Structure 1
Amino acid sequence: MGEIKIGDKVARRSYGSDVIFVVLKIVTARVKVARVLLRGLNMRLMADAPVDDLVTIRNEEVESSFQNLHQETRQLVEKVFLRRMAEDFSIDYRGRDDAILPSGIDYRHFPGKVLHLDGDGDYLKHCLKYYQELGVPAVGYHVSEEAQPSKVAALFREHLPDILVITGHDGFIARVGDKLNLDSYRTSRYFVEAVKKARQVQPDKDSLVIIAGACQSYYEALIDAGANFASSPQRIFIHCADPLLVAEKISHTPFDTIVHVNQVAENIISGLNGIGGIETRGKLRLSLPNTVSNHK
């Protein structure tokens, strides 16, 4: 194996090369063996490892991993559309009777608007693409985890979203070992502070729905800070698309309907072990008549 460089795609021998990482930083000062800071290529995970534990991943394997990621996400998007079709053709349209939605009158959907802050610029691009495809109005910013607490309030005031996603990369530091200590997590403290800053601006959990965290994040601290949904109850890895799928479920559920946590878990890859939360009202509203389509 050649010399490891920043930007290389690598895996950890000690973990059976189970996750492909990108090299972020190489630390050589005051250590006997150089250590490397890593971020997951297809997972919202941050980790570190001694340089001699790393193996370089071939470009073919990296491309295959990307293809698998896109295929998984595509399957999730199709699942969302099937769920919506089933809801739309239910006996009473999402709890609305004929007196409220008379037959023969067209109506317009107003799903909840998302503000998405992401510590990973590549993931953000993918998320914004899928928000658009899923009909979720969204605006996103690439903001490092460390900068999110100082940026979130101003961005919230600028965009006035219904749903706020605060995510990026994180990881539990096993050698510290205390799951109830913020120092045991790589970036959870920044997510927690960002949630608190947002709640100072809008404390009501129905007016602003907050989805926060990444892989192995400090779930309890995020919920206590004011998040409606957070990762990771069992400190597992979450899929890079999981936060946006939670946001979609809230965005396209009517405002007079409660979204139960198990319904959110059914909508994502990591399930209830990956993202938990509190009962939360949806954000979808309907308008009638629909005059927009008449002018197209």
Structure 2
Amino acid sequence: MISSGDLVTRKSYKHDIIFRVKTETGQLLKLMGEHVRLEADAPLDDLEKVTGAEYHRRKSEVDKKEAYSYRLFRQDYRLLKEKREAEAGSGYTKAKETNYFQIPPRILHIDGDPLFLKKCIALYEQLGLQVHGQYLHEKEMPNQVLPLIEKVHPEIVVLTGHDSYSKAKGTVRELESYRHSKYFVEAVRNIRRKYPNFDQLVLFAGACQSHFESIIRAGANFASSPARVNIHAIDPVYVAARVAYTSFMDHINIWEVIRNTVSGEDGLGGIETKGLLRIGMPYTENQTEEENKEET
């Protein structure tokens, strides 16, 4: 017997994705991707429970991809740091004794999945970024996003969760063919009405198979999914992190952002955007005390 919380695969899709059963409505069950940001419905007789051995085998594959993306990001981060240090020390005689501090931007991450949100927050913290996480159902995002922005005052906003394209509802060009894309579009449009500057408030929006073109036209800097593919749970974090650790003096190379993600160019895209990191001098011991006060 399959019930809410069980891990399952779909026979009709050759068991390609592991889902977690969210709700049961008669013979039709609502499913959430366990590792990708995909939402789907399926009849009970199309589902098969996932064994523990199969789950751990697939999770191991996902973990390897995540670790690879993390290594790529850390390599890029080191290069960005070396560049900042060189620029900070270039105006001083003792360049080797560079003494600077950096102010990364605040991030507001709004997620339609509380489990994915928790995982993303842990990764932001691992990357040393200040983030405010908020769980909201995708349908609530258009109305709730502006009050949250006014409360948190972020420089980067991430709007993500679950989505999917349904051929039965129409063509890939029609926004109504998607489960949640219209809510991402509406939320982005609402933000841009009040915060029109693309380089002062950077937006990422979308999930698996989302209507990329509509989200970008609404005003997002980065979005998913150009090829209507599934995107990994943590991909939005790497996009935000690249913006956060690129100097506001530099433009972001879109390919360098995308290549750090698990999904790649089929899953993510964007427009030319400036970084948001600012550096200052000199760094003092008093600053450390003040930063600690702010964190507590």
Using the size of structure 1 for normalisation, the TM-score is 0.91
Once the 2 structures are TM-superposed, how far is the Cα of residue 187 of structure 1 from its aligned partner? Answer: 0.8
1:15 to 4, 13, 16: 13
Matched, 1:126 2:126: no
Aligned residue in 1 for 2:188: 195
Contact 2:170 2:176 in 1 (8 A): no
Aligned residue in 1 for 2:238: 245
Task: Please give the alpha-carbon distance, in whole angstroms, between the structure 2 residues aligned to 1:111 and 1:101.
Answer: 27
Contact 2:170 2:177 in 1 (8 A): yes
Aligned residue in 2 for 1:98: 90
Query: How is 1:22-101 mapped onto 2 (pairs within 5 angstroms)?
Result: 22-28=20-26, 34-90=27-83, 93=85, 98-99=90-91
| Distance change >3 Å, CA 187–CA 89, structure 1 → 2 | same
Query: How is 1:257-272 mapped onto 2 (pairs within 5 angstroms)?
Result: 257-272=250-265
Once the 2 structures are TM-superposed, how far is the Cα of residue 26 of structure 1 from its aligned partner? Answer: 2.5
C-alpha deviations, 1:220-265, integer Å up to 9, x for none?
A: 1101111000000110111111100000000000001011221211
Once the 2 structures are TM-superposed, how far is the Cα of residue 106 of structure 1 from its aligned partner? Answer: 1.0
Task: Please give the alpha-carbon distance, in whole angstroms, between the structure 2 residues aligned to 1:70 and 1:102.
Answer: 43
Identity of aligned residues (%): 37
The amino acid of 1:23's aligned partner reads V
Contact 1:260 1:278 in 2 (8 A): no
| Distance change >3 Å, CA 185–CA 94, structure 1 → 2 | farther
The amino acid of 2:283's aligned partner reads N
Aligned residue in 2 for 1:290: 283
Contact 2:85 2:98 in 1 (8 A): no
| Distance change >3 Å, CA 100–CA 253, structure 1 → 2 | farther
Contact 1:87 1:94 in 2 (8 A): no
Contact 1:210 1:229 in 2 (8 A): yes
Secondary structure (helix, strand or coil) at the match of 2:233 reads coil
Contact 2:70 2:260 in 1 (8 A): no
Task: Please give the alpha-carbon distance, in whole angstroms, between the structure 1 residues aligned to 2:234 and 2:50.
Answer: 23
Once the 2 structures are TM-superposed, how far is the Cα of residue 138 of structure 1 from its aligned partner? Answer: 0.9
Task: Please give the alpha-carbon distance, in whole angstroms, between the structure 1 residues aligned to 2:74 and 2:286.
Answer: 22
Q: 5+ unaligned residues in a row in structure 1: which ranges?
A: 29-33
Secondary structure (helix, strand or coil) at the match of 2:276 reads coil
The amino acid of 1:274's aligned partner reads G
Once the 2 structures are TM-superposed, how far is the Cα of residue 201 of structure 1 from its aligned partner? Answer: 2.4
Contact 2:100 2:280 in 1 (8 A): yes
| Distance change >3 Å, CA 163–CA 100, structure 1 → 2 | farther
Query: How is 1:134-173 mapped onto 2 (pairs within 5 angstroms)?
Result: 134-173=127-166
Aligned residue in 1 for 2:294: none
Once the 2 structures are TM-superposed, how far is the Cα of residue 266 of structure 1 from its aligned partner? Answer: 1.4
Task: Please give the alpha-carbon distance, in whole angstroms, between the structure 2 residues aligned to 1:272 and 1:142.
Answer: 27
Task: Please give the alpha-carbon distance, in whole angstroms, between the structure 2 residues aligned to 1:237 and 1:94.
Answer: 39
Contact 2:9 2:47 in 1 (8 A): yes
Once the 2 structures are TM-superposed, how far is the Cα of residue 61 of structure 1 from its aligned partner? Answer: 2.8
Task: Please give the alpha-carbon distance, in whole angstroms, between the structure 1 residues aligned to 2:169 and 2:76.
Answer: 42
Aligned residue in 2 for 1:31: none
Once the 2 structures are TM-superposed, how far is the Cα of residue 295 of structure 1 from its aligned partner? Answer: 5.8
| Distance change >3 Å, CA 204–CA 20, structure 1 → 2 | same
Secondary structure (helix, strand or coil) at the match of 2:23 reads strand
| Distance change >3 Å, CA 202–CA 69, structure 1 → 2 | same
Once the 2 structures are TM-superposed, how far is the Cα of residue 86 of structure 1 from its aligned partner? Answer: 2.6
Secondary structure (helix, strand or coil) at the match of 2:115 reads helix
Matched, 1:277 2:270: yes
Once the 2 structures are TM-superposed, how far is the Cα of residue 95 of structure 1 from its aligned partner? Answer: 5.6
Task: Please give the alpha-carbon distance, in whole angstroms, between the structure 2 residues aligned to 1:64 and 1:95.
Answer: 46
Q: What's the C-alpha RMSD, in Å, of the aligned pairs?
A: 2.0
Secondary structure (helix, strand or coil) at the match of 2:168 reads coil
C-alpha deviations, 1:52-103, integer Å up to 9, x for none?
A: 111011233334444443443233222211222233335x857666127962
| Distance change >3 Å, CA 295–CA 177, structure 1 → 2 | closer
Once the 2 structures are TM-superposed, how far is the Cα of residue 203 of structure 1 from its aligned partner? Answer: 1.3
| Distance change >3 Å, CA 167–CA 294, structure 1 → 2 | closer
Comparing 160-169 and 102-111, the one that deviates more = 102-111
Number of paired residues? Answer: 288
Structure with greater proportional helix content: 2
